[in-house]
Amino acid sequence: MKRRDFLKSVSGLAAGAVLPAAPSVISSAKADARSETLLIVSEGGPNNLDIHGVGTNVPGYEVSWNCYDRLISHEMKSGPGGVPYYDRDKFKGELADDMKIDDMSVTFKLKKNAKFHDGTPVTAKDVKWSLDRAVTVGGFPTFQMSAGSLTKAEQFVVIDDSTVRVDFAKKDRLTVPDLAVIVPCIINSELVKKNASEKDPWGLEYTKQQTAGSGAYKVTKWTAGTEVIMERNEDWVGGPMPKIKRVIWRMVPQAGNRRALLERGDADISYELPFKDFQEMKANGKLNVVSLPFSNGIQYIGMNVTKPPFDNPKVRQAMAYAMPYQKIMDAVLFGLGNPMFGAAKDKATEVAWPQQTKYFTDMEKAKALLAEAGYANGFETTISFDLNFAGVNEPLCVLVQESLAQLGIKTTINKVPGANWRTELNKKEMPLFTNVFSGWLDYPEYFFYWCYHGNNSVFNTMSYKSSEMDKLIDGARTAASTGDKTAYDADVKGFVDLAFADVPRIPLYQPFVNVAMQKNISGYQYWFHRRLDYRAMAKG
Amino acid sequence: MLTMIGKRLMFAIPSLIGVVIVTFLLTRALPGDPAAYFAGPAATKEAVEQIRKKLGLDRPLIEQFFRYTNDLAHGDFGNSLTTGQPVATEIRNRLPASAELTLLGLIVSIVIAIPLGVLAATRPGSWVDHLCRVTTTAGVSLPVFFTGLVLVYVFYFRLGWSPAPLGRLDVFYSAPPTVTGFYLIDTLIARDFEAWRSAFSQLILPATTLAIFSLAPIARMTRASMLAVLASEFVRTARASGLSPATVIVTYAFRNAMLPVITTLSMVFSFLLGANVLVEKVFAWPGIGSYAVEALISSDFAPVQGFVLTMAVMYVLLNLIIDILYGVIDPRVRLEG
């Protein structure tokens, strides 16, 4: 009896402690607002609303993409599973009405009725000022511009109020695509100049806190680390008027809660969930889950080729045969990735990237190769990964460790805190590690230039140097700019073959970007930056 | 009284100086290079150096320290790199959120724990005593984030009684104009009862989580000190004089048993501020704890230093209040002071 009293009182207490959420008190005006509002939940939010700012993070790119316009953007095509996917080769005007490409320059005519959020018209001098800013502020924006050979302010010429010319520094096939990435956004120059200071001539402090663009949305409230609220710009001319009036983007750190919010129907869209959750949500069919491969992206195992034992190509090949590929696909990714291994023996190399290697798990072959290299009894090494992506990296490294143990290779796992990961990569001392690289510009030579070229960029994490490789990469870049298709194809096939034979890095899989949304949300588009484009979305 | 307060504040100064020095050194000793982190994924070595210079991290440590203390003296806590905002404003905006949650959690906890402790002490060995022991042990043994997640799962996901764990207000309500920063009070001042109700229902789960966690020390301490007092001679005298049990317990015993309970309360409050960090993560609460953790993960020095300093100041103030309360409850302490 006493026990029953106790149970009764406890459950009564718990029930009393929680008031019903009471939808009845929500007025009908609020219900209307709900149907025109998109509620996004994600783990992290922006730290700066301007992509030109110092250390702007990836969520900040999403704000920039939706609140600023560029001269040009990409057309859409039908991608895997019928999901709209940006078309690498087709451009359309956003602020520009017309684009004319000449031999050594490209000329843009601006849309006549384009206005910034404060009502001032968009003019050629705003365009010049914005592009000048991108190539001069330093850091990431300047670096991204230089990837398309856009390095000097003199390259941007005002012809008249609504005409701008961009001069090419040299022939480079990436120059025009580089004008359609997030960085060359057009900013309200008069407004920002008014709020600039001597110490901050480009007004970075001002644009950090508010958007000063002409884009389809404008930020009306931003509480760092908590929420971003964006309202539609009713005067937008960059494209068809977006259907979503208001976007509320809330930061919810707990992945479990994000899933609960989706499944209860309280949130409209979320990304950054564990693969297992995505796979389960896909299976139960209550939500729309879109999974698309990262364009030009690969998760790989890298080896430092400057130090033994990985300076020996035989050892590296042995490693490539010892990777537990299929286990990684099944147990780590739950199938949400494209395998980058196990191509048929007689398959010809394609002029494409990424593509599958001919490696597959074959412990006998690995053993034989190791013995040939003089490591029949194995060796000791350390595998490192970035803790920021521990959800994938940790189980992956454990599987690799297990597999290598069969060859007598003793592997210690080194977990590197996110803040430290880049420093460690830059030092180029880690013997064995896993990482992802994905390029905004989807061209094989772009990927190889950053990851395999002997100029040893941050992303050539293996310190790989080969004069033959450099020759092929440089050759492909030149061939692409001059339009020499035969030479280009030969060079691309050449560097892919060499990268697979020498295997300084072992491609594992092409990761997927996963987005879960309510069934009534439509219009999701895949972009090279992998963030959301609200402009095409609709609810209901 | 005033001399006592003055004296106590004087004693606090060396500890605050110590906190400033230690947090400065500790944040510098953290692994990770903020310049490399904020230079972005595609940064070259030169870009990293550029940013290091911009942040002033290329100067010698001692110079950085003097610059930091000089800024502090002018009330400038520096800028957070992750959120891009001045640390002082962020802390000012976020502190009320944490304080409202912690205080409410503490109040819920006191309301349950003290009567429970008193009842347990008056009937040792009875079912109330066992109930007290079981609930408190269970509460303190569960990690807060776990309790929080279970509550969300049951009351939000399964039963749908509780609103979505999306922070302080339902997304479609706007925050009341700031007066105190406490939504429960500000919404009342603004006479926005719908928002009050929303704010209140958002608070229930996180506050309950904190309360469950802090039941144990308060209830156990109340029970122990009540037992000691109830066994003392003046209680026996009071009972022998024929006073009603209620008068004996409430007026005579309870007041005397309060001192150790107050001490415990101050400790509980401080560790609730710590537990807050996890609860805020679970409930997407825009408080100061989740802010500090974010900053720590990205080796963002300024907010970490600001957070530790604010906490230190709060502890000093809290101890001061507790000391004053001692004097109110027990005049003997006042005489000695």
Average pLDDT over residues B191-207: 88
Contact A224, B83 (CB under 8 A): yes
Within an 8 Å CB–CB cutoff, is residue B163 touching chain A?
yes
Within an 8 Å CB–CB cutoff, is residue B197 touching chain A?
yes
Q: What angle separates helix A467-482 from helix A485-502, to the nearest 10 degrees? A: 150
pLDDT of residue B303: 86
pLDDT band, very low/low/confident/very high, at A318 (cuts 50, 70, 90):
very high
CB proximity under 8 Å: B 79-118 to A = 80-85, 90, 93
Beta-bridge partners for A411: A381
pLDDT of residue B182: 87
pLDDT of residue A32: 64
Closest partner CB to B84 (pick from A20, A47, A227): A47
Q: Do A417 and B31 touch (CB under 8 A)?
A: yes
Our CA-based measurement puts residue B263 at a distance from the nearest CA of chain A, in whole angstroms, of 28
Least confident of A470-484, B25-39, B234-248, B309-323: B25-39
Least confident of A180-184, A246-250, A399-403, B140-144: B140-144
Q: Which long-range contacts (CB under 8 A, 24 or more apart) does A519-523 make?
A: A519/A286, A519/A287, A519/A288, A521/A38, A521/A268, A521/A269, A521/A288, A523/A84, A523/A243
> CB neighbours (10 Å) of residue A121?
15
The C-alpha atoms of residue B91 and residue B295 are separated, in whole angstroms, by 12
Is residue B220 predicted with pLDDT exceeding 80? yes
Is residue B40 predicted with pLDDT exceeding 70? no
Least confident of A15-19, A226-230, B80-84: A15-19
Least confident of A230-234, B1-5, B112-116, B119-123: B1-5
Is residue B8 predicted with pLDDT exceeding 80? no
Categorise residue B321: left if φ over 0, alpha if ψ from -120 to 50, beta otherwise.
alpha
Residue A293 tokens, joined: 């491969």
Q: Do B281 and A423 touch (CB under 8 A)?
A: no
Sequence-ordered list of residues with C-beta below 8 angstroms from that of B319, at least 6 positions apart, any chain: B8, B266
Q: Do A139 and B197 touch (CB under 8 A)?
A: no
Mean pLDDT value across chain B: 82
The C-alpha atoms of residue A111 and residue A238 are separated, in whole angstroms, by 8
Calculate the CA dihedral of residues B252, B258, B259, B260 and round it to 10 degrees: 130
Is residue A468 predicted with pLDDT exceeding 50? yes
The C-alpha atoms of residue B276 and residue A290 are separated, in whole angstroms, by 35
Amino acid at B253: A
The ipTM, to two decimals, is 0.75
Is residue A20 predicted with pLDDT exceeding 50? no
CA atoms within 13 A on the CB side of A449: 15
Is residue A25 predicted with pLDDT exceeding 90? no
pTM check: above 0.90: no
Nearest-CA neighbor of B89 among A230, A224, A204, A219? A224
Size of interface A-B (CB pairs under 8 A): 171
pLDDT band, very low/low/confident/very high, at B104 (cuts 50, 70, 90):
very high
β-bridge pairing A246-251 and A69-70: unpaired
What's the angle, vertex CA B314, arms to CA B309 and CA B318, rounded to 5?
A: 150
Residue of A nearest to B163 (CA): A21
Is residue A131 predicted with pLDDT exceeding 90? yes
Is residue A10 predicted with pLDDT exceeding 70? no
Nearest-CA neighbor of A434 among A319, A309, A268? A319
Residue B216 tokens, joined: 């144990």
Within an 8 Å CB–CB cutoff, is residue B65 touching chain A?
no
Mean pLDDT value across chain A: 87
Is residue A391 predicted with pLDDT exceeding 90? no
pLDDT of residue A423: 73
Contacts of A53 in chain B (CB under 8 A): 84
For A253-277, the pLDDT digits (tens) are 888 889 988 998 889 999 878 888 8
Average pLDDT over residues B262-283: 84
pLDDT band, very low/low/confident/very high, at A64 (cuts 50, 70, 90):
very high
pLDDT of residue B157: 87
Sequence-ordered list of residues with C-beta below 8 angstroms from that of A95, at least 6 positions apart, any chain: A69, A70, A71, A108, A110, A111, A114, A122, A127, A186, A214, A238
For A155-175, the pLDDT digits (tens) are 999 999 999 999 998 888 889
Three-state SS for A435-469 is: EEEECCCCCHHHHHHHHCCCCCCCCCCCCCCCHHH
The C-alpha atoms of residue A239 and residue A364 are separated, in whole angstroms, by 58
In chain A, the N- to C-terminal Cα span, in Å, equals 54
- Secondary structure letter of residue A526 according to DSSP: B
